[in-house]
């Protein structure tokens, strides 16, 4: 028990916020993506289910490790160090897919590494062909 308390104290003294520590140990959540001030939002003319499948294909081609929650329409990916030099294997990207109508959806992309979020957003945009001028940073 003492070792656990000492470990938690050392982690707390490392300067990380509670949210950063949780994200490091557990991973990004859909709420983290929603609340991100630097998220990228793309719009697509397809169902959320099709969009999730295509985004997972993009990530797999990039060599990323992908975890998903179809029920929550959320994808978490990491292991981008082979395609993006300013990252390590545990840097995560969260992707939240939100249905707007039957065949339209918005994709929100966020990461603790802003450069990686921009890179992933651009790759998804290239592969899924969003409507012109709808990619934006919120």
Residue in 61, 123, 112 with CA at minimum distance from that of residue 90 = 112
Judge whether 9 lies within some domain: no
Question: What confidence tier does 55 reach under pLDDT thresholds 50, 70, 90?
Answer: very high
| DSSP 8-state class, residue 46 | S
Quote the tokens at residue 33. 């993506």
Judge whether 20 lies within some domain: no
Q: 15: which residues sit within 8 A by CB, 6+ positions away?
A: none
CATH of the domain at 130: 3.30.310.80
Judge whether 124 lies within some domain: yes
Q: For 82-132, what is each residue's pLDDT tens digit?
A: 777 766 666 788 899 999 988 999 999 988 888 888 889 999 999 887 555
Name the residue range of residue 114's domain.
Answer: 27-137
Least confident of 19-23, 58-62, 89-93, 128-132: 19-23
Q: What DSSP string describes 101-138?
A: ETTEEEEEEEESSHHHHHHHHHHHHHHH-PPTT--EE-
């Amino acid at each position: 028990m003492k070792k656990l308390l000492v470990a938690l104290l050392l982690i707390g003294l490392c300067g990380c916020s509670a949210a950063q520590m949780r994200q490091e140990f557990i991973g990004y959540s859909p709420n983290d993506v929603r609340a991100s001030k630097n998220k990228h939002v793309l719009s697509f003319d397809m169902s959320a289910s099709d969009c999730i499948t295509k985004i997972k294909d993009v990530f797999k081609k990039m060599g990323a490790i992908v975890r998903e929650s179809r029920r929550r329409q959320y994808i978490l990916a990491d292991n981008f160090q082979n395609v993006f030099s300013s990252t390590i294997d545990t840097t995560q990207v969260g992707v939240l897919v939100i249905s707007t109508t039957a065949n339209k959806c918005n994709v929100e992309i966020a990461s603790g590494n802003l450069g990686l979020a921009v890179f992933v957003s651009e790759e998804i945009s290239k592969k899924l062909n969003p409507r012109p001028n709808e990619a934006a940073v919120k």
